[in-house]
């Protein structure tokens, strides 16, 4: 790949603010005397001419010392330092915030668990070895002498051209099984395939996986990113290729297409934050979900679905349907529809959920009610009538409310 075309891509993909920022970092790196690179998925996306919102920069050495120098010499400000990881968030004068990392060597003392940093401030070559797929190892020089030169130590460019995801060594998935879910996400996000040997190692890992200790916090993060793609095919592969074993011991039978359709039909577009969890909740039970460190709202979605599924309702009218679903989060009901195709649940979400009585407590008081339990009882009766009877008007509500008061 020619430098010129990479530079052209850089100018096409980065807005002026980002370009200005990397030139300032480049200047700072030149004067400090350290090699600086844009690295990882950003470079992959740059070559693929995908939009770029965020960049990762690595300096070959200690990023904290480099950033302190940059701040003292007025190149940028430091926002936050993580001493443990040797990373720094900086803010440039144009207000853009960028993460600068130190090169590092990581080791996995226990397979599947978090890596530990063996050395902070190693060579670029050593840093690249800790990464997941060849297409994610590319580095783009920022120093003025080689500005825009691509460094490809693993054949990443060839693999981008072949649209293949290839791990760097045979123990990669054993070290870090979250890479299996990352691979699945990249497969569908980038439209790539797993290279043959990588696919075999992935299949072998999952075949032999038997609830080995793994870091569920990271599993949750990567699963969230993967399911957020809202891809039916990705979900089906998660199930059929046994990737689900990383999150759950057993699963319910369900289809990605059904979930996708239920989401498209019933999930409001301004409520997408838990979209990923609809895919997960369809699959796993409460017990397995507990391992995943879900927050309270997320856990509620799983528990409410399980409650719905354990009952066997036989609805006589709309009011019963309403009462059956009214406590459940919409995400749980969408899962329920995906799994059972329930017409009652569909009716609840499209019609019943939004039905409200015309009268409220204040209106009842105007009709002669005094504050107390009777108001709650009457409002419930009005709602029941409104849900069960066709064209139950405001006037009908007033008549019913008066009758209840009279009978009382």
Write out the binding residues for ligand ATP, residues 180-219 only, by CB under 6 A.
182
By beta-carbon proximity to ligand ATP, the closer residue of 89 and 346 is: 89
DSSP letters of 242-272?
TGGGGT-SS-----HHHHHHHHHHHS-TT--
Q: How far is the CB of 185 from ligand ATP (least distance, A)?
A: 7
Are the C-beta atoms of 30 and 144 separated by less than 8 Å? yes
Nearer to ligand ATP, 15 or 380 (CB): 15
Stretch binding ligand ATP (CB under 6 A), from 17-25, 154-162, 178-186, 291-299: 178-186
Question: Could you tell me the smallest distance in angstroms from the CB atom of residue 132 to ligand ATP?
Answer: 4
Instruction: Reduce the DSSP state of residue 58 to 3 states and report it.
Output: strand
Which stretch in 68-76, 130-138, 259-267, 360-368 sits in contact with ligand ATP by CB under 6 A?
130-138
**Residue 178 binds ligand ATP, judged by CB under 6 A:** yes
Site residues (CB under 6 A) for ligand ATP, limited to 49-78: 56
At its nearest, how many Å lie between ligand ATP and the CB of residue 369?
58
**Residue 102 engages ligand ATP in binding (rule: CB under 6 A):** no
Sign of the alpha-carbon dihedral angle for 284, 288, 290, 294 = negative
Strand partners, 39: 139
Total site size for ligand ATP, rule CB under 6 A: 10
Bridge partners, 105 (sequence order) = 119
How near is the Cβ of 40 to ligand ATP at its closest, in Å? 3
Contact 26, 36 (CB under 8 A): yes
Residue among 350, 315, 355, 311 nearest 334 (CA):
350
d(CA 376, CA 30): 73
Sole window of 117-125, 131-139, 147-155, 159-167 interacting with ligand ATP (rule: CB under 6 A): 131-139
Cβ 104 to ligand ATP, closest distance in Å? 11
Contact between 131 and ligand ATP per CB under 6 A: yes
Give 1 or 114: the residue with its C-beta nearer to ligand ATP: 114
**Using CB under 6 A, which of the segments 69-77, 173-181, 295-303, 321-329 binds ligand ATP?**
173-181
Shortest Å, Cβ 176 to ligand ATP: 5
* Residue 220 in contact with ligand ATP, rule: CB under 6 A: no
41 binds ligand ATP (CB under 6 A): yes
Ramachandran region, residue 276 (left: φ > 0; alpha: ψ -120 to 50; beta: rest): alpha
Closest CA to 22 of 90, 106, 118, 120: 90
Indicate which single residue of 179, 220, 245, 386 sits in contact with ligand ATP (rule: CB under 6 A): 179
SS3 36: strand
Select the residue whose beta carbon is closest to ligand ATP and give its number.
41
Segment lying near ligand ATP (by CB under 6 A), choices 25-33, 72-80, 129-137, 269-277: 129-137
Looking at residues 309 to 348 of the shown chain, list those that interact with ligand ATP (rule: CB under 6 A): none
Residue labelled with tokens 């066997």: 312
Please state, in angstroms and as integers, the Cα–Cα distance from residue 305 to each residue in 188, 326, 345, following that order. Answer: 28, 12, 12
| Long-range CB contacts for residues 234-239, cutoff 8 Å, separation at least 24 | 234/184, 234/185, 234/187, 234/188, 235/259, 235/260, 235/279, 237/184, 237/187, 238/181, 238/184, 238/279, 239/283
Contact residues: ligand ATP, CB under 6 A? 40-41, 56, 131-132, 136, 176, 178-179, 182
């Amino acid at each position: 790949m020619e430098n010129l075309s990479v530079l052209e891509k850089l100018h096409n993909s980065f807005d002026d603010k980002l370009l200005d920022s990397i030139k300032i970092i480049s200047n700072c790196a030149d004067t400090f005397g350290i090699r600086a690179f844009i690295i990882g998925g950003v470079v992959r996306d740059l070559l693929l001419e995908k939009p770029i919102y965020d960049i990762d920069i690595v300096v070959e050495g200690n990023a904290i010392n480099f950033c302190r120098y940059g701040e003292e010499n007025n190149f940028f400000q430091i926002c936050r330092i993580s001493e443990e990881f040797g990373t720094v968030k900086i803010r440039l004068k144009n207000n853009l915030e960028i993460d600068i990392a130190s090169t590092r060597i990581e080791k996995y003392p226990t397979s599947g668990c978090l890596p530990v940093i063996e050395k902070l401030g190693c060579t670029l070559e050593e840093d690249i070895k800790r990464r997941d797929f060849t297409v994610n190892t590319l580095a783009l020089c920022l120093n003025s002498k080689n500005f825009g030169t691509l460094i490809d130590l693993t054949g990443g460019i060839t693999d981008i051209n072949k649209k293949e995801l290839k791990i760097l060594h045979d123990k990669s998935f054993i070290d870090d099984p979250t890479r299996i879910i990352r691979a699945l996400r990249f497969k569908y996000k980038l439209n790539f395939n797993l290279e043959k040997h990588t696919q075999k190692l992935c299949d072998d890992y999952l075949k032999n996986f038997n609830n080995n200790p793994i870091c569920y916090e990271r599993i949750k993060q990567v699963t969230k990113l993967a399911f957020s793609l809202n891809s039916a095919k990705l979900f089906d592969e998660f199930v059929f290729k046994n990737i689900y074993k990383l999150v759950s011991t057993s699963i319910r039978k369900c289809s990605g297409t059904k979930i996708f359709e239920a989401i498209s039909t019933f999930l409001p577009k301004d409520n997408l934050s838990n979209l990923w969890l609809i895919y997960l909740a369809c699959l796993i039970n409460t017990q397995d979900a507990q391992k995943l460190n879900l927050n309270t709202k997320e856990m509620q979605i799983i528990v409410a679905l399980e409650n719905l599924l354990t009952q066997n309702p036989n609805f006589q009218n709309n009011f019963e349907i309403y009462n059956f679903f009214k406590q459940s989060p919409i995400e749980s009901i969408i899962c329920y529809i995906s799994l059972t195709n329930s017409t009652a649940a569909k009716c609840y979400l499209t019609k019943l959920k939004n039905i409200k009585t015309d009268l409220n407590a204040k209106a009842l008081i105007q009709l002669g009610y005094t504050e107390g339990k009777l108001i709650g009882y009457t409002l419930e009766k009005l709602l029941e009538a409104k849900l069960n009877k066709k064209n139950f008007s405001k006037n009908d509500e007033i008549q019913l409310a008066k009758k209840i008061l009279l009978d009382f």
